[in-house]
Amino acid sequence: MADSQAKPTPRTKAQIEAALQAARARLTGNLEDLIDQVHPNRVKQREIDKIKQRAQAELDNAKSQVINPDGSPRVDRLAVIGGAVAGLVTFILIVRAIARRGRGR
């Protein structure tokens, strides 16, 4: 009856040391990655980076609403915004004038 499982060839001392060194290197790398993931300064920096990216995306989105891709202003949109601002300022001035008249009586 033949042995169906061949015995592995024994490793040399150099092979074992190389395997241990490789395992140590992997463990060191994994440990450094873990520390990087949970260190408070790194967590804080990642959150700051996320906020900066979101703010930049919002700024780019706002710019795209009033500036064409070629860099020229979107006059129609700027006119609407200008009209809205003028209406708001007019409304505030009217409300202030009415409030002053009410106090003056």
What pLDDT sits at residue 65?
87
pTM: 0.48
Could you identify the residue written with the tokens 């395997």? 19
Which stretches of the chain score pLDDT less than 70?
Answer: 1-4, 104-105
Same domain, 22 and 40: yes
27 shares a domain with 50: yes
What is the overall mean pLDDT for the chain?
Answer: 90
Calpha distance 67→81 (Å, rounded): 13
* SS3 (DSSP) at 11: coil
Asked whether residue 44 falls in the same domain as residue 23, the answer is yes
pLDDT on residue 103: 77
* Co-location of 19 and 61 in the same domain: yes
Backbone angles phi, psi at 10, to 5 degrees: -65, 145
Query: Within a domain: residue 99?
Result: yes
Residues 26 and 53 in one domain: yes
Please report the pLDDT score of residue 8 as a whole number. 81
Residue 78 and residue 59 in one domain: no
Q: Are 59 and 51 in contact (CB under 8 A)?
A: no
Residue 51: which domain range? 15-66
Same domain? 52 vs 76: no
- State both tokens at 93: 């001035």
| E-only strand ranges, 1-105 | none
